[in-house]
Amino acid sequence: LSVRQQFGFAYCLFNIGGANLKIKAQTRLVSTSRFAVIEPSADMATTTREERAQAAAMRSTSGDQGGENLDTINSVEIDMSLQKYVLIRAGNRHLVRGTSSAIYHKDAAGPCVAQLRSLGIDYNVLGGGRIAVEPDKKTMLVYGFSYGFPWENGISKHDVAAKLLNQKYPDWTINTSDEGY
């Protein structure tokens, strides 16, 4: 951990798994038993109004179509690193999608939403957060929230995501937390 200043803003630089992570000083680090998570200050939305509108436009379709095509879709698709993730309800199933390359949660949801739309399957992006994956320890932490896809009534469904992750990775330890961003 090092604290530096760039362009008049202080930031902390973390090295996690060989990758540098830069965090603005308005955030604070919250440590859990095995992970450190990042918690923004109350006035620090990381998405613009336009980006939140784009996420809202892709949040759901309505009706009851395409359920027979759901068998072709994996329940879990994630990267083996720190990533943004979304939980999607499609028909009577839940889907977890995460990617370390996502700048915004809509980027994590995008490919799955496009696939569901192309198959005519109705869906709802229930919310999002982050998944911290430590492959060498076989541990995951599902935590946080999404400005683009906020959880209904502010209540996360990380437990649903953790259950799906546990089905795909049965010999891993998977924890959840509502702390952090």
CB 120 within 8 A of CB 65: yes
Active-site annotation holds for 94: no
Query: Catalytic one among 52, 59, 97, 105?
Result: 105
- Annotated catalytic sites, by residue? 105
